[in-house]
Amino acid sequence: MALASIPFGLAATSSKAGAATKKMSSAAFMADNTDVLNFALTLEYLEKAFYRQGLDTMGLIPGSDQTVFSTISTHEDAHVEFLLAALGPDAVAEPEFDFTGAPGGLALDTFTNYQTFLALAQGFEDTGVRAYKGQAGALANDNDLLDYALQIHSVEARHASKVRRMRNEKGWITQAENTLPADFAPIYAGEANTTQGGVPLAGAFGQYGGDNALTEAFDEPLTMEEVLTVANFFIVQ
């Protein structure tokens, strides 16, 4: 099993979302709603396992931050339970995860170094938010499922912003800046885009922060392939 990006998001019928969706493999593009929800469930499994292991590691998370990660963990638990209920017997089993990145050839000190844990938390949340958009058209045929997905999506975005602030970063992404290990640069690929809806905007807001501010104002989608590039570092095959 491999992690796939969550195929729903803000502006589900936008041209950008549609273009990103069409970049999926043909098999995934034809996926039905069960496949789509299982994609989402796998990502929620990853986040749930990550935060639970972090909270269970004595001495890793400072007392001042325990409430934050306990809250995020509870949210991820709820997302998993919701998707399991929605899928019933069609739900995929939880994969085995290795958050040292060993499956991808890394040797991260994730649960002995709090800064590494924070960095991965940011990476997973930033990826999740963009992944929701990457296949956004996939649930356009079911308004109820799309509504539920949007409810999860906005909370994941709040997680991302909170964790970024905890790392003394802005709550939004500037250009394609990556403060994580170089292997995770694909998380921010495409974020330097300055054309929105076919309208070139580069240089149009010089007095308001320029192109840096422009790229911060829009999140770009990630395709399934791009999400897999990151996720496969942590999924034990």
Give me the number of domains the chain comprises.
1
The answer to whether residue 1 is domain-embedded is no
- Confidence (pLDDT) at 31: 54
- Confidence (pLDDT) at 131: 79
Q: Is 189 left (phi over 0), alpha (psi -120 to 50) or beta?
A: beta
Strands, DSSP E only, in 115-180? none
The answer to whether residue 219 is domain-embedded is yes
The answer to whether residue 4 is domain-embedded is no
- Confidence (pLDDT) at 140: 75
The answer to whether residue 8 is domain-embedded is no
Dump the DSSP string for 9-72. Answer: -SSTT-HHHHHHHHTS-HHHHT--HHHHHHHHHHHHHHHHHHHHHHHHSTTTS-HHHHHHHHHH
- Confidence (pLDDT) at 128: 87
Going residue by residue through the chain (237 aa), what tens digit of pLDDT does each one get?
333 333 322 223 234 434 444 443 333 444 577 877 888 888 899 999 999 999 999 999 999 999 999 999 999 999 999 999 989 999 999 999 999 999 999 999 999 999 999 999 999 999 988 877 776 677 778 788 777 877 888 899 999 999 999 999 999 999 999 999 888 899 999 999 999 989 999 999 988 999 999 999 998 988 777 877 888 899 997
Q: Are 145 and 37 in contact (CB under 8 A)?
A: yes
The answer to whether residue 216 is domain-embedded is yes
Domain that holds residue 215: 15-231
Print burial letters for 72-89: b (CB count within 10 Å at least 16), e (below 16): bbebbeebbebbbebbee
Cβ neighbourhood burial of 24 (10 Å; 0-12, 13-18, 19+): buried
Q: Which helix (H) or strand (E) holds 195?
A: strand 195-196
The answer to whether residue 5 is domain-embedded is no
The answer to whether residue 185 is domain-embedded is yes
Residues 6+ apart with CB under 8 A from 219: 10, 129, 130, 133, 173, 191
Predicted TM-score (pTM) of the model is 0.84
The answer to whether residue 93 is domain-embedded is yes
